[in-house]
Amino acid sequence: MIKKDRMDLLLAIDIGNTTTDIGLFENRRFTRKVKISSKASALDVLKLIKRLCKPSDPCKARAIISSVAPVSLKNVEKVLKTGIGIRPIVVGRHVKVPIRNLYEKPLQVGQDRLVAAYACRQLYNVPAIIIDFGTAITFDLVNSKGEYEGGLITPGAGMALEALAEKTALLPKVSLKCPKRLIGKNTVESIRSGIINGLSGMCSALVSRLKCKKRESMFVLATGGLCRIMTKYSKCIDNIDENLILKGLCLIYYRKTSYKQLIR
């Protein structure tokens, strides 16, 4: 039990290929988060964490990290240890995600995908399809037994926009926004409509095929930085949770009291 006069602070950190999400849980309740580039300097990360924890003392916080970017992970670990005095728990190194992994080679699955699957199982419904709209778009299946079954990976919107700009002579680099209409009346509109409507159509088609393959109704949950935009165009999604992985990290951290041994 947590004493009423004591604030239990947990930093849940999800390090992606492009951005890092840092969420703050106070007495096990999600309160707020910040985003920063995964290539940000150690000083910038330190400043952001201290700002996030105000008015509390960040030195009294604990931390758990999920990462798909080894170099960025080292940077964040160093910031926490030397800048704040926190020894973080790293998912996959100090603790395993408590979900059965049916991948042929289990170590090939990104920890973020397992954390999302675990969080979906604990907080929502199964069987489920989790769509993470990040640098890549991942589709992950949790079966009716609550096991991680596998999934699909495809390039995300940002990656597609960069590829168009880099691999063509005349197409410009475009910021990602909701298209005003299906049929673009200029090049920028055409690119935005093609990316958003194309990816949302792909999502709907893949969800339909997955449900047909499984021959059962499946809960479809969207997460990731672009989930709110994509959900407007893909009607197959039942719910969105932008903070699914952060919540999963919190659930994993508090699952066993023995984890406290790792942060002494």
Taking only the tens place, the pLDDT of each residue in 206-235 is 999 999 998 888 999 999 988 888 888 888
- The pLDDT, as a whole number, for residue 3 is 47
Same fold, 9-94+252-263 and 125-240: yes
Measured distance between the N- and C-terminal CA atoms of the chain, rounded to whole angstroms: 19
User: Which pTM was predicted?
Assistant: 0.89
> What's the rounded mean pLDDT across residues 162-166?
90
* 8 three-state secondary structure: coil
Options 3.40.50.720, 3.30.413.10, 2.60.40.10, 3.30.420.40; which CATH number does 9-94+252-263 get? Answer: 3.30.420.40
From 14, 21, 112, 241, the catalytic residue: 112
Q: What is the CA radius of gyration of the chain?
A: 19
Q: What percent of the chain has pLDDT over 70?
A: 94
Answer yes or no: 112 catalytic.
yes
pLDDT at 6: 62
* Residue 74 neighbours by CB distance under 10 Å: 12
Would you tell me how many other CB atoms lie within 10 Å of the CB of residue 24?
22
Given the candidates 3.50.50.60, 3.30.420.40, 3.40.80.10, 3.30.460.80, the CATH classification of the domain at 125-240 is: 3.30.420.40
CB of 14 closer than 8 Å to CB of 252: no
Nearest-angstrom CA–CA distance, 139 and 200: 13
How many angstroms separate the CA atoms of 97 and 253, rounded? 10
Residues in the chain: 264
Residues β-bridged to residue 153: 138
67: pLDDT confidence band, cut at 50, 70 and 90?
A: very high
Q: Is the pLDDT of residue 5 over 80?
A: no
Query: Is-contact 165 173, C-beta < 8 A?
Result: yes
- Decide: 262 and 87 in contact? Cβ < 8 Å: yes
Confidence at 7, pLDDT banded by 50, 70, 90:
confident
Q: Angle 69-66-140 (CA atoms, 0-180°, nearest 5)?
A: 95
Task: Give the Cα separation of 67 and 87 in Å (integer).
Answer: 16
User: Mean of the per-residue pLDDT values for the chain?
Assistant: 90
What are the structure tokens assigned to 104, written together?
């042929």
Structure tokens at 182: 């299906």
Neighbours of 105 (CB within 10 A): 7
The structural domains of the chain, with segments of one domain joined by +, span: 9-94+252-263, 125-240
